[in-house]
């Protein structure tokens, strides 16, 4: 049996022709002539750009943009935990009064929970006093 060529789908053919037209139009855009740039042209453009920026800075009025740091009324427990590489670890172990230990995250979580349990929350106490159990 001889292989038959599949029938041409008109929708596929239209799509292919449209794609070919777009590709040809794109090729024409790429071949647009641009005059060569010289160092003198670049220098002139750069000086003009600098002059425009200088004019903008002379008329510039600074805006009061003070950065406001968020205020926290709570006291946060400060724990200094660092993960360092071998070089930093070796340098640190050679210092006097260096304590080396290993811990797990669950131990750190347990210590944090113990310390936060002791801190009394006045709002929670007020709610428990006002509302019946």
- For the chain, count helices (H), then strands (E): 5, 0
What number is the average pLDDT over the span 74-84?
A: 61
108 and 79 Cβ atoms separated by less than 8 Å: yes
Question: Closest Cα to residue 81, out of 65, 97, 60, 104?
Answer: 104
Count the Cβ atoms, other than its own, within 10 Å of residue 39: 7
98 and 92 Cβ atoms separated by less than 8 Å: yes
92 and 101 Cβ atoms separated by less than 8 Å: no
For the segment 1-47, what is each residue's pLDDT rounded down to a tens digit? 578 888 888 898 899 999 998 888 776 666 667 788 899 999 999 99
Residue 79 has pLDDT above 60, yes or no: no
């Amino acid at each position: 049996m001889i292989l038959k060529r599949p029938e041409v789908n008109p929708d596929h053919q239209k799509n292919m022709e449209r794609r070919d037209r777009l590709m040809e139009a794109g090729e024409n855009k790429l071949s647009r002539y641009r005059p060569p740039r010289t160092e003198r042209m670049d220098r002139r453009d750069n000086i003009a750009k600098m002059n425009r920026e200088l004019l903008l800075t002379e008329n510039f009025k600074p805006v009061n943009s003070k950065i406001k740091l968020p205020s926290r009324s709570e006291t946060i427990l400060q724990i200094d935990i660092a993960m360092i590489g071998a070089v930093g670890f070796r340098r640190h172990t050679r210092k006097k009064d260096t304590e080396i230990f290993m811990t797990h995250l669950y131990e750190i979580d347990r210590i944090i929970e113990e310390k936060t349990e002791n801190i009394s929350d006045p709002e929670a106490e007020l709610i428990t006093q006002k509302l019946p159990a």
